Chains A and B, each alone.
Chain A
Amino acid sequence: MTDVERRAVISGIGQSAVGRRLGRTGVDLTIDAALEAIADAGLTTTDIDGLATYPGAGGGAGPGFSGPGTPEVQDALRLEVNWHTGGIEGAAQLAAVVNAVLAVSAGLARHVLVYRTVTESTEQGSGGRPGIGIGGGAGGGGGGGVPRMSGVMQWSIPFRAYSAANWLAMNAHRHFHEYGTTPEQMAMIAVNGRRNAGLNPKAVYRDPMTLDDYFASRMVTSPFRLYDCDAPVDGSTAVVVSVADHATAVDHPVARVEAVGTALRGRPSWDQFDDMTTMAARDAGAQLWTRTDLKPADVDVAELYDGFSFLAMVWLEALGFCGKGESGPFVEGGHRIALDGELPLNTHGGQLSAGRLHGFGFIHEACLQLRGEAGDRQVGAAVEVAAVANGGGPIAGALLLTREG
């Protein structure tokens, strides 16, 4: 049994304002989140000796997706770092956190600032979300200015499968076909998220949503309706990953990293993966449980990626909270996944209702819940173990966090 993970803790968390079209730059939002996280960790900028982000500058999949790269943030905060990294390849957005854990464990850094910043709402403006590779509103026959596709995207985008919404909708239909999953079941991910978002002052969509409201929302790409798709926002989230012995130096509980899941054993492809109903979550989820003595039943709260509602169902199965193919019945009616249910899910509202902070909103919320600082949406005083998962399709990463202190 390895204990690489357990040499690191998340000692501090921070988050900027989160909202639609804030009109602020990514680096401005990042500074807010970073300074809050550093102070929360009981540190100052001079203590930070590592820096990590996802995806880094230029890792773009559309306007406002990347956020500032590490050089820009390092300079803005005048950090002196011994280790730094940014990149889009790896175990989803959580790769940046996992890399920080490894750097701390290896002794390359003592306190790593890890951040993820999006300005998708401001940069998309009123034009809506573009398809990958086509940009906003580039349609209409000639295609002037639209680049020709090479690499892996040439196998999907020329067939007008522009967005991850299109690709993952086919995963969802396959799941429906193989396991009898229904739209009413999938809807509960969105309804549950909205219910929780009503208790989260920073969530962007807080008005109650009924099942009827869900089915009244327009179809985007079947079976995904508008409310199955997350909401682009502006915002930055930061955490400080520290050496474990720093836990005693802060005035609040910290999140110990109990286990990571980073595996990718199937083909790294949206359409050639062996099992369309799970994809990479299967591999990261299975690996995570090989690195801990804890079991799925020990988890008190689950913060699972819902860039599309269906992905949270994939993660419920991949992390063993229900059997394979059984996520539909598991979430049906929404009782099990409610704040007072057996497995509270996406307690801040998820990306569907709290906003698309793109992965890092889940780790921030998991830390709040472990620390008992989640306000009206706090699951209870006894949150000892939290599961966090990011990604969909051939992209997946997972963390198991425990409370210390």
Chain B
Amino acid sequence: MSRAVPFRVQPALDDDNRFFWTSGQDGRLRLLRCGSCGYYLHPPLPRCPECGSRELAAEAVSGRGEVFSYTVNHQSWDGDPEPYVIVLVALPEQAGLRLTSNLVDCPADEVRIGLPVRVVFERHDRVWFPLFEPA
């Protein structure tokens, strides 16, 4: 499905976040996970805040989730007049683990809390933005 690709402020890639912002190259969403206790860290940290381990590695997650909350934005902050949907997606891998993102390929009046979603990536140059669409 084709849709207009909006302007996006780019993240500054560094050694801590590059895995996240380039993860979509193979269509998978990845988060940092503790190899010792299994805790998912978001945002990334140098040590696991649960057990203190430094054995951390990017690990693919299912890419599934559900809309935990949302807002339909109408304010033209970036010069684009089209409304768009910002979502907070709860990931099933861990209680309380959430990503702020956009809901795409879904009419704004059909977004609701609890809507099942799956990740889809929008590439801008060297960054793959993880967005979500209805599952």
Contact = CB atoms under 8 A, between A and B. Distances in A.
Given A170-B88, A174-B69, A177-B69, A158 B75 contact: no
B86 A170 contact: yes
B78 interface: yes
Contacts of A162: 77-78
A216 to B, nearest CB: 15
B113 A156 contact: no
A158 B73 contact: no
- Among B11, B70, B73, B79, the one with the most A-chain Cβ atoms within 10 Å of its Cβ is B73
Interface in B50-98: 68-80, 84, 86-88, 96, 98
A221 B74 contact: yes
Contacts of B96: 272, 274
Interface in A154-190: 154-163, 165-167, 169-171, 173-174, 177
Contact of B12 (A149, A169, A224, A276): A149
A137 B9 contact: no
B9 A157 contact: yes
A222 interface: yes
Interface string B37-48: 000001100000
What size tier do the contact residues of chain A reach? 35 or more
Nearest to A132: B77
B100 A140 contact: no
A276 B87 CA distance: 13
A218 B76 contact: no
Contact of B10 (A143, A165, A174, A276): A143
Given A152-B43, A177-B69, A160 B74 contact: no
A294 interface: no
A150 interface: yes
Interface in A201-233: 218-224
A138 B10 CA distance: 13
A155 B113 contact: no
Interface residues of B, number: 38
B72 A134 contact: no
Contact of B75 (A142, A165, A177): A165
A159 B12 contact: no
Contacts of A140: 7, 78-80
Contacts of B84: 160
B43 to A, nearest CB: 6
B102 interface: yes
A165 B14 CA distance: 28
B74 A154 contact: no
A223 B79 CA distance: 21
A166 B75 CA distance: 10
A14 B9 CA distance: 41
A159 B100 contact: yes
Interface string A257-272: 0000000000000111
Contact of B113 (A139, A142, A157, A177): A177
B3 interface: no
Interface in B83-127: 84, 86-88, 96, 98-102, 113, 127
Given A141-B7, A146-B9, A159 B102 contact: yes
A333 interface: no
B77 A219 contact: no
A148 interface: yes
A30 to B, nearest CB: 30
Contact of A169 (B17, B71, B80, B113): B71
B69 A276 contact: yes
B68 A219 contact: no
A7 B79 CA distance: 52
Contacts of B99: 155, 271
B27 to A, nearest CB: 19
A320 interface: no
B72 A222 contact: yes
Given A137-B79, A139-B76, A274-B96, A158 B10 contact: yes
A138 B78 contact: yes
A219 B101 contact: no
B9 A134 contact: yes
A71 interface: no
Given A149-B9, A150-B12, A170-B88, A160 B71 contact: no
Interface of B: 6-12, 14, 17, 42-43, 68-80, 84, 86-88, 96, 98-102, 113, 127, 129, 131
Interface of A: 130-131, 133-134, 137-143, 146-150, 152, 154-163, 165-167, 169-171, 173-174, 177, 218-224, 270-272, 274, 276
26 contacts: A130-B77, A131-B78, A139-B76, A139-B78, A143-B8, A147-B9, A148-B9, A148-B11, A149-B11, A152-B43, A154-B17, A155-B100, A157-B9, A158-B129, A159-B102, A159-B129, A161-B86, A163-B75, A166-B71, A171-B69, A220-B73, A221-B72, A221-B75, A221-B86, A223-B71, A224-B71
